[in-house]
């Protein structure tokens, strides 16, 4: 199963799910969060987590197809 996490931050939820999913794209608009995420992935040598810079409010969905799209602790950053 292929999944996309919007607003991944440092990947808290995706690190918990990575063994159950084939491929995970982790999207966040913060380069700082993505840098921390890159380091965590490298240290733990996890091959199916793929970070990308993406803004939920302004960028279109990636062209890839996903079986699951999820978010955690993100909606408070979205204006009504």
Give the pTM: 0.85
**7: CATH:** 3.40.50.150
Q: In the 3-class helix/strand/coil scheme, how is 8-27 assigned residue by residue?
A: CCCCHHHHHHHHHCCEEEEE
Domains identified in the chain, total number: 1
In terms of residues, how long is the chain? 80
Name the residue range of residue 45's domain.
Answer: 2-77
Residue range 17-48, pLDDT digits in tens: 999 999 999 999 999 999 999 999 999 999 99
CA separation for the pair 60, 20 (Å, rounded): 27
Assess contact for 42 and 51: CB atoms under 8 A. Answer: no
Residue range 4-13, pLDDT digits in tens: 998 898 998 9
């Amino acid at each position: 199963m292929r999944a996309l996490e919007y607003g991944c931050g440092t990947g808290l939820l995706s690190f918990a799910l990575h063994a159950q999913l084939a491929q995970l794209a982790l999207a966040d608009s913060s380069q700082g969060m993505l840098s921390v995420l890159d380091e965590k992935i490298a240290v733990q040598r996890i091959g199916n987590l793929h970070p990308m810079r993406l803004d939920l409010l302004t960028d279109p969905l990636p062209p890839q197809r996903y079986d699951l799209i999820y978010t955690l602790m993100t909606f408070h950053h979205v204006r009504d």
